Amino acid sequence: MDLGIAGRHAVICASSAGLGHGCALHLARAGCSIVLNGRDEEKLEQAAAVLRKEAGAEVTAILGDITERKTREKLLSVKPVDILVNNAGGPPLADFRDLSDEDIHRGLNSNMVTPIMMVQGVIDGMVERGFGRIVNITSASVLTGIPKLDLSSGARAGLTAFLSGVARQVAGSNVTINNLLPGNFDTDRQDAIIANIAKQAGKAEDEVRKARESSGPAGRFGTPDEFGAACAFLASTHAGYITGQNLLMDGGAFTANF
């Protein structure tokens, strides 16, 4: 399918690996110029090389922490932004009783405040040009409580609620804001969770991985590639009538009827 976004300019936060990189790759294949971002210079350059090789894309790699203003300014300064994918790693697993004031503010800054700042930086230009697609990578935990992910859940739920009204304000200008809610995907984040659980339970990581994979109806982890394909569709011209929505991608793990 031609997504109708060839020549558009996309900024994908935290995109040197994992779900962000999956989104960047599919947007590059659709003909977009890409701004990649990450904190590990070697991984970032490798990710940029993959996009250039596999999609022939124009790629700009911006090294830095997305929570820092100077990094955000660099990301938005390359070209006028048509497509923004907000992404940030979640806080580590922790019992809510153990969270300090600093932990909480850091989690809110990363997973709520920073994406809002990015939206503020692009929204008016999108409205003026009559095209814009914003996709926020949040979490399945927005819809259902997951123990020890309380901070991540709260921050991402706050982002979802904050931007819900914004999405309705700009819909008439062909600017959409939607959220992708991943469940268990095969990423570095997943590896870290598995390692933490294995350590605490005194089990082998392979044993924990197999148990987590088989716990859901799909019997496997999702892949960054299929996640990226969904992101690219939401960024396409075909998705102009979809806005303010939460697309859950969890292999059927969340069992509510509605």
Indicate the number of domains in the chain. 2
Q: Identify whether residues 143 and 196 lie together within a single domain.
A: no
Run of H or E residues at 180: strand 175-182
What gap in Å lies between CA 223 and CA 52, rounded to an integer? 21
Identify the band that residue 210 occupies on the pLDDT scale cut at 50, 70 and 90.
Answer: very high
What gap in Å lies between CA 151 and CA 106, rounded to an integer? 10
Residue 90 confidence (pLDDT) above 90: no
Please name the residues in contact with 27: beta carbons below 8 A apart, sequence gap of 6 or more.
5, 10, 12, 34, 83, 85, 228, 231, 232, 235
Residue 251 resides in a domain: no
What gap in Å lies between CA 37 and CA 66, rounded to an integer? 8
Residue 3 resides in a domain: no
Take residue 101 and report the two structure tokens written for it: 């004031």
Q: Identify whether residues 82 and 64 lie together within a single domain.
A: yes
Q: Identify whether residues 51 and 132 lie together within a single domain.
A: yes
CATH number at residue 113: 3.40.50.720
Q: Identify whether residues 42 and 165 lie together within a single domain.
A: yes
The domain containing residue 190 runs over which residues? 184-221
Q: Identify whether residues 164 and 197 lie together within a single domain.
A: no
Q: Identify whether residues 114 and 192 lie together within a single domain.
A: no
What is the rounded average pLDDT of the residues 181-204? 92
Q: Identify whether residues 204 and 234 lie together within a single domain.
A: no
Q: Identify whether residues 49 and 156 lie together within a single domain.
A: yes
Q: Identify whether residues 163 and 192 lie together within a single domain.
A: no
Per-position b or e across 117-132, b if 16+ CB within 10 A of its CB: bbbebbbeebbeeebb
Residue 194 resides in a domain: yes
Q: Identify whether residues 149 and 208 lie together within a single domain.
A: no
What gap in Å lies between CA 149 and CA 163, rounded to an integer? 21
Residue 93 confidence (pLDDT) above 90: no
- pLDDT at res. 87: 97
Residue 200 resides in a domain: yes
Q: Identify whether residues 80 and 109 lie together within a single domain.
A: yes
Tell me how far the alpha carbon of residue 89 is from its chain's centroid: 9
Q: Identify whether residues 192 and 179 lie together within a single domain.
A: no
Tell me how far the alpha carbon of residue 11 is from its chain's centroid: 11
What is the rounded average pLDDT of the residues 69-84? 98
